[in-house]
Structure 1
Amino acid sequence: MTGDVQHLVTQLADVPWLLTALDLVGVFFFAVSGALLAARKHFDLVGSMALSLLAGLGGGFTRDIVLDRGLPASLENPIYLAPPVLVSLLVYVKFIHPNRLNLTITTFDAAGLALFTLSGVVIAHGMGLHPVSVVIVATVAALGGGVLRDIVANEVPSVFDPRGVYVMPSVLGAAVAEAAALQGMLNAFTGTVIAALIFTVRMLAYHYQWRLPGAEISQDRESLARLRRLAEQAQAATARRAARARERMGPVEEFEGQVVVEDFDPDTQSITVVDPASHQSVHYDPGTGTMDVKDMRTGRTRSYDAPEHDWVADHPRRQA
């Protein structure tokens, strides 16, 4: 280890709060993504805090255990609990209440991904690991919190979801940061540039629907549009009936012979319908435009924003 990297690591060792601050900012961003996902899932305050803690602390916890650094920093220093708790309260009182939940969750998740990748490289490189090991540790640290968050919330983990490239920005960013470290060029400026690069690539992948070759798409544009149309029609009809107080839709009432209304919340106006033809359950929230589609055969759930942001294939995959 030479040059700027040695100086940077020495500074971080001499002034521990610098590395702690970098970690805390990453924890904050991941915690926001966890709290917003909890809000979309209608978790209570305790559930929101639990998901925020998992999302915010999971990556650093995994990193410290893999590197055998002793007691994980999140357990050694109670300050790590502050961002998840604060974020959960802000979301609970609706201080943070965006309309585009999927986009906002992805934005904060991408920021956390970038910061944890960078801190993982700095710590792993400073411990003298092989360059390949540094990249692996940094990637695991960046992905850990998001994976735990999605699993607990019964979402398909972003690592396995083809809707936008998720892992590769972290891998590429870690490789670039480690290459810079080996050349003695990793410093505050280059580190910031690399973190911004990871964030930018992840957001571009989300916006332009990038995917790696071979990724399968489970939903084509026509079938997704049909599900949204049926959910919106069923929601409007159910809301009108509930408003007239003439009847409340039960779990077995059928709408136009196509979908079955399973649940309706008169407070949020959200509705859950079952489409027997596709073996899918759809939870539609008219307030945010979010549609959660659950495959009843596998139990997997995927979420889609308003129609212009739905990530689907332009052409349905032909069956053999």
Structure 2
Amino acid sequence: MDLQQLFAELADVPWLLTVLDLVGVFFFAVSGALLAARKDFDLVGSVALALLAGLGGGITRDIVLDRGLPASLQDPIYLAPPVLVSLLVYVKVIHPNRLNLTITLFDAAGLALFTVSGVMIAHAMGVHPVSVVVVATVGALGGGVLRDIVANEVPSIFDPRGVYVMPAVVGAAAAELVAQRGALNAFTGFLIALLVFTVRMLAYRYQWRLPGADVSQDKDRLDRLRRLAEQAQKAAVRRAARARERGPRAAFGPAEEYEGQVRVEDWDPDTQAITVVDEATRQSVRYHPETGIMDVTDLRTGRTRSYDDPDDDWVVDTGSAEGADADRDDAGR
């Protein structure tokens, strides 16, 4: 058997597209369910966000290609991954630790698989090569965009911290070039998906960004916000303990000022999460001590970005002497 015949047999696998779609749905659904956990959604909200993330891209792709009723609505099996994932996250079989990194990993895997499956479907329908790339990219991005919009997050395609769209575009173009030569199959498709996944994660890890993009948060500012939020959270715990000792009249006041730097807006005694406002920079910070997640909202624009614990923030370091000193101080703590 020559190489061309082997490629032809690998391409002629009737369940290949279904498997790619289902695995992609699973990965995207995990990213949706984990985001729902970070947002403290209940089980219904988790299922809804997992469904949007997992099925949104495929439905968008099928509608654009005019394939009739989208595949995910024809076959009930497509509903299984989002529901199963939501239950696994809810009972903490998939544990929501280091959420930003975990969400990005699953999101990148879904992005890669939907890019390849989108090219396979569009190419098989005889779509123009340029349109194949566009359709595959739209299908790969659709679920993540819907997930982020519904969860009131800045969609990843607009976040300059790591390129998001370009890996899908490059992967779709590479897959279409391979398909033009009749060599797009399970093996080559896996290699292209691996390429998309790797580029996306490297871009996220090293904060690659396109020319002209700017990052509104540098490491020094984030270190300052995290330090103030942690201090305010510990002070809130101490004041709550004193309040319990003195009685209900000494309850903690959520609007209390902390060292004249941040104002405490809210504190949850059950989760220990605290929300503080930094008037100097017009930013609101929601800090979750259990996970180390810090959600930073710009009060002027309403945009929210989330950061993991200091070792995994993966944000731009200004390289300043003050930043280096801050890093050494953090290491000492």
TM-score normalised by structure 2 residue count: 0.90
Answer yes or no: is the 8 Å Cα contact 1:164–1:209 preserved in 2: yes
What's the offset of the Cα at 1:8?
5.7
Partner residue in 2 for 1:100: 98
Answer yes or no: is the 8 Å Cα contact 1:249–1:263 preserved in 2: no
Answer yes or no: is the 8 Å Cα contact 2:56–2:143 preserved in 1: yes
The counterpart of 1:195, out of the listed 181, 189, 193, is: 193
Partner residue in 2 for 1:270: 273
Note if 1:221 corresponds to 2:219. yes
Question: Residues 194-231 of structure 1, C-alpha deviation per residue, up to 9 Å, x if partnerless?
Answer: 11111111111111111111111111222211111100
What's the offset of the Cα at 1:5?
7.5
Answer yes or no: is the 8 Å Cα contact 1:220–1:316 preserved in 2: no
The counterpart of 1:167, out of the listed 165, 168, 174, is: 165
SS in 2 for 1:163: coil
Q: How does 1:67-86 map to 2 (within 5 A)?
A: 67-86=65-84
Partner residue in 1 for 2:152: 154
Answer yes or no: is the 8 Å Cα contact 2:232–2:258 preserved in 1: yes
Answer yes or no: is the 8 Å Cα contact 1:3–1:185 preserved in 2: no
Partner residue in 2 for 1:61: 59
SS in 1 for 2:285: strand
Note if 1:279 corresponds to 2:277. no
* RMSD of Structure 2 on Structure 1 (CA): 1.8
What's the offset of the Cα at 1:312?
3.3
What's the offset of the Cα at 1:6?
6.7
Answer yes or no: is the 8 Å Cα contact 1:116–1:141 preserved in 2: yes
Partner residue in 2 for 1:258: 261
Q: What is the aligned length?
A: 312
Answer yes or no: is the 8 Å Cα contact 1:234–1:261 preserved in 2: yes
Q: Give me the whole-angstrom Cα distance separating, in 1, the residues matched to 2:286 and 2:21.
A: 35
Q: Which runs of 5+ in 2 are unaligned?
A: 321-333
Q: How does 1:43-62 map to 2 (within 5 A)?
A: 43-62=41-60
Note if 1:29 corresponds to 2:27. yes
Answer yes or no: is the 8 Å Cα contact 1:33–1:55 preserved in 2: yes
Q: Give me the whole-angstrom Cα distance separating, in 1, the residues matched to 2:208 and 2:251.
A: 43
Letter of the structure 2 residue corresponding to residue 137 of structure 1: V
What's the offset of the Cα at 1:4?
7.4
Q: Give me the whole-angstrom Cα distance separating, in 1, the residues matched to 2:229 and 2:84.
A: 35
Question: Residues 93-139 of structure 1, C-alpha deviation per residue, up to 9 Å, x if partnerless?
Answer: 11111421000000000000010000000000000111111111110
Q: Give me the whole-angstrom Cα distance separating, in 1, the residues matched to 2:206 and 2:318.
A: 16
The counterpart of 2:310, out of the listed 292, 304, 307, is: 307
What's the offset of the Cα at 1:248?
3.7
Q: In terms of mean alpha carbon deviation, does 221-230 or 117-126 score higher?
A: 221-230
Letter of the structure 2 residue corresponding to residue 187 of structure 1: N
Structure 1 residues 43 and 213, CA gap change in structure 2 (3 angstroms) = same
SS in 2 for 1:273: strand
Q: Give me the whole-angstrom Cα distance separating, in 1, the residues matched to 2:74 and 2:91.
A: 30
The counterpart of 1:89, out of the listed 87, 90, 93, is: 87
Answer yes or no: is the 8 Å Cα contact 2:293–2:306 preserved in 1: yes
Answer yes or no: is the 8 Å Cα contact 1:4–1:187 preserved in 2: no
Letter of the structure 1 residue corresponding to residue 190 of structure 2: T
Answer yes or no: is the 8 Å Cα contact 1:291–1:304 preserved in 2: yes
Q: Give me the whole-angstrom Cα distance separating, in 2, the residues matched to 1:19 and 1:289.
A: 38
Q: Give me the whole-angstrom Cα distance separating, in 1, the residues matched to 2:82 and 2:251.
A: 38
What's the offset of the Cα at 1:75?
1.0
Q: In terms of mean alpha carbon deviation, does 106-115 or 303-312 score higher?
A: 303-312
What's the offset of the Cα at 1:48?
0.5
Answer yes or no: is the 8 Å Cα contact 2:10–2:187 preserved in 1: no
Query: Taking every aligned residue pair, what percent have the same amino acid on both sides?
Result: 77
Answer yes or no: is the 8 Å Cα contact 2:205–2:314 preserved in 1: no
